C-alpha cells in the first residue's frame, strides 16, 4: 500500500513538472524559421543594455557606411575616377543594407533620436545626386556635394554621444582647412591669425587620443606656425601638404 502511494505521488510530481513545458510548447508560434519579433526585440534590448558603446552593433553598421563614404570623399578629392567609382559602389551597397536594417529598428543608441530618419534620407539623397558626376562628370563637384554628408554624420554621432574621436577630428578638420588655405597661399599673417583656433581644436583631439598619427598632425601644424613666425612663406605650401596627408591617414583609420 505504501509503495503504491509513493508511486502515485511520483507520477503526480512528474505530471506537474511536465505541464509548464507542454503549455509553453503549445503557446509558441508555429516554426516559420523567423525569430519572434517581440522576443527578438526583448533580446536585443537585453544585449544592448549590457553592451559598451564602443562594441555596439549599431556603430559597426554605421561604420560600414562611413568607411566607404570617407574613401569616396577622398578619391573624388584626388580626382581619381576609378577609385571614386569603386568606392562609390561600395558606399551605395552599404547604405542600402543599412537603410533596410534601420528602416524601423532603433537600437538603444539612437532610440530617442527623432532626427535620425530625416538625416539618413538627406544622406541618401546626396549620394544619389552625385552618381553621374562620380561615373562620368565633374569629380570636384561630386566631392563638394559629398562634403555635405560630413556634418550630417557629425550631428548624428554628437547628439547620440558616439565616437568622440571621430567627432573631434571632424571639428578640427573645419579649422585646419583655414590653415591649409593660408599656407597654400603663402600668407604667413593669415596662418598666424587662424592657428589658435586650429590649435584649440587639435588639443581636444589630443585629449582623446595620443596615437602616433595624431602626434604627426600636431608636429605638422606647429611646423606651419613656426614657418609663419619666421616669415618663410615659400615653404608653407609643402608643409601644408604634409599636414593634410597626416590628417587623412588618421581620419581614414578612425571609425
- Residue reference for cell 569629380: 139
At residue 94, the pLDDT reads: 97
pLDDT at 254: 80
Q: Per the structure block, which three cell numbers stand in for 198?
A: 586650429
For residue 28, the surrounding DSSP H or E stretch is none
Give me the pLDDT at residue 255, please: 63
Can you give the pLDDT at residue 49? 38
Contact, 172 vs 205, CB < 8 A? yes
pLDDT at 134: 98
CB atoms near residue 248 (< 10 Å):
17
> Measured in whole angstroms, how far is the alpha carbon of residue 37 from the centre of its chain?
27
Could you confirm whether domain 56-159 is CATH 1.10.3470? no
**Prediction pTM value:** 0.56
Q: Where are the domains positioned within the chain?
A: 56-159, 164-253
Express each pLDDT in 107-134 by its tens digit. 999 999 999 999 999 999 999 999 999 9
CATH of domain 164-253: 1.20.120.660
What's the gap between Cα 14 and its chain centre?
55
Tell me, what's the pLDDT at 197? 93
Q: Quick count: other Cβ atoms within 10 Å of Cβ 149?
A: 23
Here the cell at position 78 is: 584626388
Q: Which residue stretches of the chain have pLDDT < 70?
A: 1-55, 163, 255
Q: How far apart are CA 174 and CA 192, in angstroms?
A: 17
Residue 11 confidence (pLDDT): 38
Q: Cell 589630443, residue?
A: 206
pLDDT recorded at residue 1: 41
pLDDT of amino acid 145: 97
Give the pLDDT confidence score for residue 23 in this predicted structure.
37
Cell of 176: 585646419
**Are the folds of 56-159 and 164-253 the same?**
yes
Amino acid at each position: 500500500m505504501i509503495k503504491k502511494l509513493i508511486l502515485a505521488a511520483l507520477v503526480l510530481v512528474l505530471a506537474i513538472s511536465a505541464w509548464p513545458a507542454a503549455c509553453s510548447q503549445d503557446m509558441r508560434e508555429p516554426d516559420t524559421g523567423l525569430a519572434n519579433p517581440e522576443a527578438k526585440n526583448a533580446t536585443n534590448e537585453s544585449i544592448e543594455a549590457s553592451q559598451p558603446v564602443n562594441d555596439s552593433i549599431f556603430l559597426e553598421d554605421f561604420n560600414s557606411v562611413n568607411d566607404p563614404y570617407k574613401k569616396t570623399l577622398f578619391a573624388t578629392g584626388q580626382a581619381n575616377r576609378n577609385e571614386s567609382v569603386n568606392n562609390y559602389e561600395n558606399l551605395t551597397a552599404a547604405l542600402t543594407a543599412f537603410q533596410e536594417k534601420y528602416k524601423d529598428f532603433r537600437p538603444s543608441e539612437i532610440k530617442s533620436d527623432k532626427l535620425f530618419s530625416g538625416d539618413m534620407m538627406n544622406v541618401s539623397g546626396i549620394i544619389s545626386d552625385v552618381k553621374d558626376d562620380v561615373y562620368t562628370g565633374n569629380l570636384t563637384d561630386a566631392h563638394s556635394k559629398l562634403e555635405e554628408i560630413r556634418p550630417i554624420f557629425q550631428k548624428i554621432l554628437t547628439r547620440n554621444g558616439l565616437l568622440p574621436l571621430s567627432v573631434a577630428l571632424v571639428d578640427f578638420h573645419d579649422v585646419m582647412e583655414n590653415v591649409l588655405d593660408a599656407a597654400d597661399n603663402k600668407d604667413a599673417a593669415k596662418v598666424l591669425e587662424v592657428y589658435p583656433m586650429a590649435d584649440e581644436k587639435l588639443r581636444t583631439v589630443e585629449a582623446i587620443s595620443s596615437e602616433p598619427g595624431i602626434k604627426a598632425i600636431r608636429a605638422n601644424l606647429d611646423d606651419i606656425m613656426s614657418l609663419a613666425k619666421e616669415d618663410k612663406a615659400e615653404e608653407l605650401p609643402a608643409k601644408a601638404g604634409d599636414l593634410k596627408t597626416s590628417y587623412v591617414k588618421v581620419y581614414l583609420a578612425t571609425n
